[in-house]
Amino acid sequence: MTTLMLLLARHDGCEEIPFRQMPKDYFGIEPVALERKIKMGTIQLGLPCESLRAMRSSNVPLSEIPHVG
């Protein structure tokens, strides 16, 4: 069983979660702090920094969370 399969089970089979939920659930930080860490390169998602503004009000694929894919 892969980590991605476990995350899918945790989220009732949904492949994406709201951006506002992801930082708290997976990194233990607020969304603003995650955005800062992504911009600094401390945390890398498979999405370009320019798309952070769009991500704030959208969903993030579970496969893009580090150490999941």
Query: Would you call 34 exposed, middle or buried from its count of C-beta atoms within 10 A (0-12, 13-18, 19+)?
Result: buried
Q: Per the domain annotation, does 50 fall within a domain?
A: yes
pLDDT band at 69 (very low <50, low <70, confident <90, very high): very low
The tens digit of pLDDT for each residue in 43-67 reads 877 766 666 677 777 888 888 776 6
Q: What is the pLDDT of residue 51?
A: 67
Q: Which domain holds residue 44?
A: 3-64
Q: Per the domain annotation, does 23 fall within a domain?
A: yes
Whole-model pTM: value is: 0.68
Q: Per the domain annotation, does 11 fall within a domain?
A: yes
Count CB atoms within 10 A of the CB of residue 23.
Answer: 20
Q: Per the domain annotation, does 69 fall within a domain?
A: no
Q: Quick one: what percent of the chain has pLDDT higher than 90?
A: 4
Q: What span, in angstroms and rounded, lies between the C-alpha atoms of 51 and 63?
A: 17
Q: 25 pLDDT exceeds 70?
A: yes
Q: What span, in angstroms and rounded, lies between the C-alpha atoms of 10 and 12?
A: 6
Number of domains in the chain: 1
Strands (E), the chain: 16-18, 59-61
Q: 30 pLDDT exceeds 50?
A: yes
